[in-house]
Amino acid sequence: MFCPITRAYSNTQLMDAANYFYQYRPAAHFLVTDEDAADFLQSQFSNELRPFEPGRCCYGLWLDVKGKVIADSVVLCEGEERFRVLSECCPSEVITAHLQRHIIADEVVIEPAGPAWAFQLFAGAVTALGWTPLQPGQFETISGGRLYCVRDQHYTIVLESESAAEACRARLLAAGFAAYSEAEQGLARLGAGIPLVPYEIGPADLPGEGGLQQDAISFTKGCYLGQEVVARMHNLGKPQRGLFIVTGQGSLPSVPCALYNEGAKQVGELRTAYSEAVGDVWRGVAILKTRYASEGERLHSDAEEVMVAELLRKGPKHD
């Protein structure tokens, strides 16, 4: 699991991400089954799960009644009454406790799916392993697990035994692919503009503040928990805060830490930080009040200065 702490790495440079893979243990892996499972999940998940057809998968969020982000997940439809839920960083216990609180008269069973080992990779690596790359929103059962795609050219393999994971890793290395460290994966993720839930956007934050409306929210599916708040922010189009990439020099800061402007006003919080491969420079993600977050703006924590580089996610500009 990717942890919310700062990490350094010593590689001379980050090469083309397509030549790399990232191995991790999913924090959440459980099943939701029984006759009301589909409708129940549809009422709780922020993205559109219909049609409930085997082989479909979807990335989205679990929100509270105020529209705040509890967790993210990928939901795989394995049948009309069987769904598999996975999350890279959000623990099963958090998500299942949230879901259990909202089961009233529904015929729904939530149960652990057992240990899992996962790989994030690109199309070339999928092909090298002997599988055909999928379209976004699709998954298929493979030997020892599942292969799914929720973002274009981004694939995840989930395996259910350590031996299968060791064999997969060995095949990737033999084919010339290299393993990212967690820190290298963090920097690659920043480059791709992908927020890390719950560490960069979490229980104190709204999806639109992290640009998650781009791929984790459906504005046409109808009601789900937190939908009214999300729709209101979307219609207003002016989130008061956003996720920004920031840079600094020197030793890695401890995170999270408050950030202030020149007038000593707190304008946000640094959430993650990673050392660059070259030079005494680090790069991270901060949530900032947008009116104080112009590119090139200088901010500071209690210990050091940081500079606002750019929005983490490109899209509709913040006013």
Question: Do residues 111 and 260 share a domain?
Answer: no
Lowest mean pLDDT among 130-144, 230-244, 289-303: 230-244
pLDDT tens sequence across 67-88? 999 999 999 999 999 999 999 9
> Would the pLDDT of 9 be above 60?
no
Question: Do residues 175 and 301 share a domain?
Answer: no
What percentage of the chain carries pLDDT values higher than 90?
Answer: 81
Domain boundary at 164, 182, 200, which?
182
Domain hosting residue 308, numbered range? 240-312
Question: Do residues 177 and 247 share a domain?
Answer: no
> Would the pLDDT of 12 be above 80?
no
Give the separation between CA 213 and CA 60, rounded to whole angstroms. Answer: 9
Question: Do residues 175 and 246 share a domain?
Answer: no
Give the residue among 234, 242, 312, 286 at the shortest CA–CA distance from 67.
234
Q: E strands of 44-196, at which residues?
A: 57-63, 69-79, 82-87, 109-112, 117-121, 138-142, 145-151, 154-159, 178-179
- Judge contact between 117 and 159, C-beta under 8 A: yes
Question: Do residues 98 and 174 share a domain?
Answer: yes
Q: With respect to residue 105, please indicate whether it lies within any of the assigned structural domains.
A: yes
Phi and psi at 165, nearest 5°, equal -65, -40
Q: With respect to residue 174, please indicate whether it lies within any of the assigned structural domains.
A: yes
**Residue pointed to by tokens 């395996």:** 159
More confident residue, 14 or 165: 165
Domain boundary at 150, 182, 214, which?
182
pLDDT tens sequence across 143-189? 999 999 999 889 999 999 999 999 999 999 999 999 999 889 999 99
pLDDT band per the 50, 70, 90 thresholds, residue 315:
low
Q: With respect to residue 166, please indicate whether it lies within any of the assigned structural domains.
A: yes
Question: Do residues 250 and 146 share a domain?
Answer: no
**Mean confidence (pLDDT) of the chain:** 91
pLDDT band per the 50, 70, 90 thresholds, residue 126:
very high
Helix/strand/coil percentages in the chain, nearest 5:
20, 35, 45
- Judge contact between 23 and 165, C-beta under 8 A: yes
Q: With respect to residue 113, please indicate whether it lies within any of the assigned structural domains.
A: yes
Residue 245: C-alpha distances to residues 73, 109, 146, 169, 188 (Å): 23, 41, 33, 31, 12
Give the separation between CA 119 and CA 121, rounded to whole angstroms. Answer: 6
Q: With respect to residue 228, please indicate whether it lies within any of the assigned structural domains.
A: no
> Would the pLDDT of 105 be above 90?
no
Q: With respect to residue 190, please indicate whether it lies within any of the assigned structural domains.
A: no
What is the number of domains present in the chain? 2
Instruction: Count Cβ atoms within 10 A of the Cβ of residue 53 and give its class: 0-12 exposed, 13-18 middle, 19 or more buried.
Output: exposed
pLDDT band per the 50, 70, 90 thresholds, residue 16:
low
**Residue pointed to by tokens 């799916």:** 113
Give the separation between CA 203 and CA 66, rounded to whole angstroms. Answer: 10
Domain boundary at 135, 158, 182, which?
182
State the number of CA atoms in the 13 A half-sphere of 278 facing the CB: 4
Give the residue among 44, 50, 69, 43 at the shortest CA–CA distance from 233.
69
Q: With respect to residue 233, please indicate whether it lies within any of the assigned structural domains.
A: no
Question: Do residues 41 and 173 share a domain?
Answer: yes
pLDDT of residue 316: 46
Tell me what the mean pLDDT of segment 185-214 comes to: 94
Check whether the bond before 133 is cis (ω within 30° of 0).
no
Tell me what the mean pLDDT of segment 252-280 comes to: 91
Question: Do residues 68 and 149 share a domain?
Answer: yes
Q: With respect to residue 271, please indicate whether it lies within any of the assigned structural domains.
A: yes
More confident residue, 182 or 37: 37
Question: Do residues 40 and 127 share a domain?
Answer: yes
CATH code where residue 268 lies: 2.40.30.110
More confident residue, 238 or 121: 121
Lowest mean pLDDT among 13-27, 170-184, 246-260, 261-275: 13-27
- What does the block give as tokens for 200? 């960069």
pLDDT of residue 10: 33
> Would the pLDDT of 206 be above 90?
yes
CATH code where residue 22 lies: 3.30.1360.120
Question: Do residues 163 and 41 share a domain?
Answer: yes
> Would the pLDDT of 223 be above 50?
yes
